[in-house]
């Protein structure tokens, strides 16, 4: 099995059918939703007369609903088919983003972000299987394409939010709705009919049964703690910086590009050298150190730290999922559902509490210190030795980046 890199990515994009490109385009827009609101958090707070703690609920509602929905997406796709599941998800996103642009209060916006998260869960948990099923050149190339879509979405989301947000905080929501409506039409017309699929049934309780495996449970909990730290950076940094929407958008665009580069080019190499679990442990401890540096009361240091954290996040996004998918004997979709439930729940809790942490400790930098502590705990969980030998090659089929973010 080859180690993925730039040459593999170039090979992966050659000769792909139209269905793959359409799904990848929709995936880019879907992943844009994660960082889209980052540059306009201050504008939303001002426009809707909301506190920072209220505004960070935009992440909490989005991630919380997505976490719960991850438990049922596999069963929904197995019962109704991938195309129907994708179209339902995209329809919910189109409706939610359009209504977000017309929201009159922070409570309405938080509620609509929850609908957005539900739609995104149905889409992103299903789109990878669509790409893998339709792509030429094997599953590894298809996954690299999806990784590239993830990185582009994470990089473009903050930039689009900044450009449209400089006009009005409502602009990014309306722009996303228009783009996603185009993706919805393309998917409705060109994706393969569900009638051609052979689907295996998935029970709703299967993900919880999968978490009974000690290794998978520790990995899922470690990922939840890391994701909490991840969203402490994503949801709180704009308030500490206090920069304009365009400045914040450019910073997080650089962050997203680093995520894309590390997830595609660096993570497989590090896993091949150290093994998945050991590489994940080293990276999460490294993230803890970086978070402590970001707690230094200096905006230039924080800016550099945010951008560099994209490299570590790119490593961890891929390595955590690779570890989770290879550590137990549970079917991949089932293990992924249980793992992603814990992961997204960690992000939702962090986004809810991050503003309160700053208030409790009376310091805008306290959330970064708390996030570092969470990463140390995550690393300790991963450091517990498994009875089975560690994997020294990152299985391409295990890198379910589409189910990461």
Question: For residue 280, which of 189, 200, 219, 227 has the smallest C-alpha distance?
Answer: 219
**Angle ∠(186,192,194) on CA atoms, nearest 5:** 120
Residues 179, 182, 184, 187: is their CA dihedral positive or negative? negative
pLDDT confidence bin for 389, thresholds 50/70/90:
very low
Q: Do the Cβ atoms of 386 and 215 come closer than 8 Å?
A: yes
| Domain extents in the chain | 6-195+204-403
Please write the tens of the pLDDT for every residue from 97-149.
999 999 999 999 999 999 999 998 888 777 766 776 666 655 556 666 776 77
pLDDT at 282: 94
- In the predicted model, what is the mean pLDDT of the chain? 82
Q: How far apart are CA 220 and CA 232, in angstroms?
A: 18
The CA-based dihedral angle spanning residues 93, 145, 247, 349, taken in that order and rounded to the nearest 10 degrees: 60
- The residues, any chain, with a CB within 8 Å of residue 356's CB and separated by 6 or more, are 53
Instruction: Tell me what pLDDT residue 8 has.
Output: 53
> Of 85, 158, 154, which Cα lies nearest the Cα of 120?
85
Q: Residue 228: is its pLDDT beyond 90?
A: yes
**Smallest Cα–Cα separation from 279: which of 372, 388, 386, 393?**
393
Q: Is the pLDDT of residue 265 over 70?
A: yes
**Higher pLDDT among residues 147 and 250, named by residue:** 250
In tens, the pLDDT along 58-96 reads 888 988 898 888 788 767 776 777 788 889 999 999 999
Helix 299-326 with 245-261: angle, nearest 10 deg? 40
Determine the CATH number of domain 6-195+204-403: 1.20.1250.20
Model pTM above 0.75:
yes
pLDDT reading at 2 higher than 70: no
Residue 3 pLDDT greater than 50, yes or no: no
CA angle 37, 57, 347 (to 5 degrees): 85
Query: Cα 332 to the chain's mean position, in Å?
Result: 18
Q: Give the pLDDT of residue 295.
A: 95
Q: What is the pLDDT of residue 9?
A: 53
CB atoms within 10 A of CB 360: 11
Alpha-carbon torsion 176, 55, 307, 303, what sign?
positive
Both tokens assigned to 225: 């703690």
Predicted pLDDT at 330: 74
pLDDT of residue 71: 80
């Amino acid at each position: 099995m080859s180690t993925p890199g730039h040459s593999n990515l170039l090979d992966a994009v050659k000769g792909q059918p139209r269905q793959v490109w359409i799904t990848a385009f929709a995936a880019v827009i879907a992943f844009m939703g994660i960082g889209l609101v980052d540059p306009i958090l201050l504008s939303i707070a001002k426009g809707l007369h909301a506190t920072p703690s209220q505004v960070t609920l935009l992440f909490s509602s989005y991630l919380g609903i997505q976490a719960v929905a991850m438990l049922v997406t596999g069963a929904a796709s197995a019962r109704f088919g991938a195309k129907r599941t994708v179209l339902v998800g995209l329809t919910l996103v189109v409706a939610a983003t359009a209504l977000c642009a017309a929201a009159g209060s922070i409570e309405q916006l938080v509620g609509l972000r929850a609908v957005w998260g539900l739609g995104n869960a149905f889409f992103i948990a299903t789109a990878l299987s669509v790409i893998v099923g339709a792509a030429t050149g094997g599953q590894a190339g298809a996954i690299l394409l999806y990784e590239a879509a993830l990185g582009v979405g994470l990089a473009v989301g903050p930039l689009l939010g900044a450009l449209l947000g400089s006009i009005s905080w409502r602009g990014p929501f309306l722009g996303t709705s228009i783009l996603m409506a185009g993706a919805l039409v393309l998917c409705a017309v060109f994706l393969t009919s569900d009638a051609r699929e052979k689907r295996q049934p998935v029970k709703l309780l299967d993900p919880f049964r999968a978490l009974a495996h000690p290794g998978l449970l520790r990995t899922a909990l470690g990922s939840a703690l890391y994701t909490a730290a991840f969203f402490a950076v994503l949801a709180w940094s704009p308030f500490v910086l206090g920069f304009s929407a365009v400045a914040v958008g450019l910073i997080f665009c650089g962050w997203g590009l680093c995520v894309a580069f590390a997830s595609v080019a660096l993570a497989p190499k590090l896993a091949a050298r150290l093994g998945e679990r050991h590489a994940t442990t080293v990276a999460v401890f490294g993230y803890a150190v970086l978070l402590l540096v970001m707690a230094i009361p200096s905006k230039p240091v924080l800016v550099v730290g945010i951008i560099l954290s994209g490299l570590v996040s790119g490593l961890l996004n891929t390595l955590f999922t690779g570890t989770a998918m290879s550590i137990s004997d549970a079917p991949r979709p089932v293990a992924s559902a249980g793992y992603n439930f814990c992961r997204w729940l960690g992000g939702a809790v962090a986004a809810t509490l991050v503003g309160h942490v700053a208030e409790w400790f009376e310091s805008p930098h306290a959330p970064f210190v708390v996030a570092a502590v969470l990463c140390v705990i995550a690393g300790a969980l991963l450091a517990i030795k498994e009875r089975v030998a560690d994997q020294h090659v990152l299985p391409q089929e295990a890198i379910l980046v589409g189910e990461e973010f």
